[in-house]
């Protein structure tokens, strides 16, 4: 494997800035790595749905030209990135993993796409996902399943499995994911990478194809905490094009990451969530989580148990609120405006064409959630289902408020289990939904949360994630804790978790 593809994003940016390597060389090394290991839906990692080598090399050449002209380069200029294919790009197709948008080229860039381009970040291509970001395994993509680089027979998490797998396979040092109920954090946990869900409204949703608008949040993904912090700084901040965007300064996440790397958490109060553990959690996951909690204490944090009683209702509330918003958001895919159109031969009505198109264009999980949401919002059931779920959402937010009055951050396992075999749960939606048990509460409440790698489960040798939750607009606390944990484990392991995985060298 080329040493450039194993380098951290911060190291690559520094080398480009100093003229030690060109941005074009860095981009080409990652494009070569993608060609080597990504393969197709039938074989390989299959992290990418679309790779645009020409545009990536052109963007890299611009960075090199700017450096030659003496321009001041940003902290991530010239660094390659994998972009989840639910973020619109004017120069590449955006499919949201669905047949109904196959081949669609948006007429504009998302705000975060624009900000990354302006920062000199080189977008390599678009990554695979569960259709319209609905799923926990990337098995719901219309374009084939992504595979976990740690074991190609297992899932890489979802919905953002493509972005996480690209990081773990060393195809890109940075990625963008979106998180509706855990779709950044759960893939990060099962691939041994870092995934951050910022405070809701902290990163613009303009140009993010909506799944559930009150839950969706884009965020940074990386192999190290500092790299994620640097990317967070690029994409975050108020956006007048997004009515839910928060007009507040971006927390100093880079400073927090640097302080955390010093390994001193003295004075930090950490709450272990009582309800997120026990029955149903894999023994190896709980063992690594307990090790991580002991490590936090060793680093100087004060660790206490905290009860958040309404978290146990989070899954049920989420799977009423999310489908209700899905049924509304996906109504726009009607064959009349853009995307797929089926049966328009002049003999059918608009209603018939719409029905045929949606039947052919949406996959089983999208249809399931549309139907569930439409039912929950229907006359006579709205108050009993959707209304009650929103009340539970309020109670969960109050649980967070009460907990954060006692502690600075909350922790739990990110997922109840490690990566499961492809196909194991695809026919059991309820078992699949359980993967988001720990991550859903933060989406319902809108607070910041993240997953950081904390070792391998004893049973299967697969990665385990530590889930850290912080109050609204306290995203910097995630990076403080994550960097401290990362630094301590790096001293034990001799590097990051991914750097200790020789099997990843042999992906083919």
298 in active site: no
- 345 exposed, middle or buried (CB, 10 Å; 0-12, 13-18, 19+)? exposed
Find residue 409's DSSP bridge partners.
270
User: Nearest-CA neighbor of 81 among 138, 163, 161?
Assistant: 163
Element (H, E) at 413: strand 409-413
Run of H or E including 54 = helix 53-68
183 catalytically annotated = yes
The active-site residue out of 22, 141, 183, 449 is 183
Query: Which residues are CB-contacts of 383 (< 8 A; sequence separation ≥ 6)?
Result: none
Residue with token string 């009582």: 274
159 is catalytic: yes
Point out the catalytic residue in the list 98, 136, 159, 412.
159
Cα 298 from Cα 487, distance rounded (Å): 13
Report CA torsion sign: 431, 436, 438, 441. negative
Q: Which residues of 326-339 are buried (b: 16+ CB within 10 A; e: fewer)?
A: bbbbbeebbbeeeb
DSSP string, 204-271: --TTBPPSSTTT--EEEEESSHHHHHHHHHHHBS--TT-TT---SPPP-HHHHHHHHTTT--TT-EEE
H/E stretch holding 396 reads: helix 388-404
User: Which residues have a Cβ under 8 Å from the Cβ of 482 and sit 6 or more positions away?
Assistant: 194, 225, 228, 257, 260, 450, 452, 468
Burial status of residue 434 (CB atoms within 10 A of its CB: 0-12, 13-18, 19 or more)? middle
Please pick, among 8, 10, 22, 84, the residue that the annotation labels catalytic. Answer: 84
Between CA 150 and CA 169 the distance in angstroms is 8
Does residue 171 contact residue 34 with C-beta atoms inside 8 Å? yes
The Cα 182–Cα 502 span in angstroms is: 28
Beta bridge partners of 304: 271
Could you tell me how far CA 64 lies from the centroid of its own chain? Answer: 30
Closest CA to 59 of 124, 111, 146: 124
**Beta strand pairing call for 409-413 and 269-273:** parallel
State how far the Cα of 370 lies from the Cα of 364, in Å rounded to an integer: 10
Chain-centre distance of CA 237, in angstroms? 18
Strand partners, 30: none
In angstroms, rounded to a whole number, what is the distance separating the alpha carbons of residues 260 and 480?
4
Catalytic residues: 84, 159, 183
């Amino acid at each position: 494997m080329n040493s450039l593809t194993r380098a951290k994003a911060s190291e690559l940016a520094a080398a480009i800035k100093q003229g030690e390597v060109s941005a074009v060389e860095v981009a080409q090394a990652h494009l070569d790595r993608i060609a080597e290991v990504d393969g197709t839906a039938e074989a390989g990692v299959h992290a990418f749905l679309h790779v645009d080598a020409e545009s990536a090399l052109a963007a890299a050449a611009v960075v090199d030209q700017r450096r030659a002209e003496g321009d001041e380069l940003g902290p991530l200029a010239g660094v390659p990135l994998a972009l989840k294919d639910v973020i619109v790009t004017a120069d590449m197709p955006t499919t949201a993993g669905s047949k109904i948008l196959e081949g669609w080229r948006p007429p504009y860039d998302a705000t975060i796409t624009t900000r990354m381009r302006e920062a000199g970040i080189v977008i390599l291509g678009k990554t695979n996902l569960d259709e319209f970001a609905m799923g926990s395994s990337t098995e719901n993509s219309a374009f084939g399943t992504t595979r976990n680089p740690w074991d190609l027979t297992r899932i890489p998490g979802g919905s953002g499995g493509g972005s996480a797998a690209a990081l773990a396979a060393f195809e890109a040092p940075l990625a963008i994911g979106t998180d509706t109920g855990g779709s950044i954090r759960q893939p990060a946990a099962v691939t041994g990478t870092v995934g951050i869900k910022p405070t809701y409204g902290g990163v613009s949703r303009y140009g993010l194809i909506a799944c559930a608008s009150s839950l969706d949040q884009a965020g940074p993904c990386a192999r190290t905490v500092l790299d994620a912090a640097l990317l967070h700084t690029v994409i975050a901040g108020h956006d007048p094009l997004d009515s839910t965007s928060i007009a507040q300064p971006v927390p100093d996440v880079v400073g927090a990451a640097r302080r955390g790397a010093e390994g001193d958490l003295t004075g930090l109060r950490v709450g272990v969530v009582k309800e997120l553990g026990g029955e149903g959690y894999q023994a190896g996951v709980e063992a690594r989580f307990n090790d991580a909690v002991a490590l936090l204490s060793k680093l100087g944090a004060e660790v206490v148990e905290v009860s958040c009683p309404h978290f146990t209702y989070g899954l049920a509330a989420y799977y009423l609120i999310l489908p209700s918003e899905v049924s509304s958001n996906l109504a726009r895919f009607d064959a009349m405006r853009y995307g797929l159109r089926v049966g328009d031969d002049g003999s059918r009505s608009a209603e018939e064409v719409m029905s045929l198109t949606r039947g052919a264009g949406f996959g089983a999980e999208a249809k399931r959630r549309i139907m569930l949401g439409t039912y929950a919002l229907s006359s006579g059931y709205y108050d009993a289902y959707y209304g009650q779920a929103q009340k539970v959402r309020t109670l969960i937010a109050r649980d967070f408020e009460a907990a954060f009055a006692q502690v600075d951050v909350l922790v739990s396992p990110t997922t109840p289990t490690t990566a499961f075999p492809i196909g194991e749960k695809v026919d059991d939606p309820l078992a699949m939904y359980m993967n988001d048990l720990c991550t859903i509460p933060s989406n319902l409440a809108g607070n910041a949360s993240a997953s950081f790698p904390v070792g391998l489960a004893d049973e299967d040798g697969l990665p385990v994630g530590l889930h850290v939750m912080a109050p609204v607009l306290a995203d910097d606390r995630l990076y403080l804790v994550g960097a401290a944990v990362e630094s301590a484990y790096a001293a034990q392991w001799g590097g990051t978790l991914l750097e200790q995985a020789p099997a990843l060298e042999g992906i083919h």
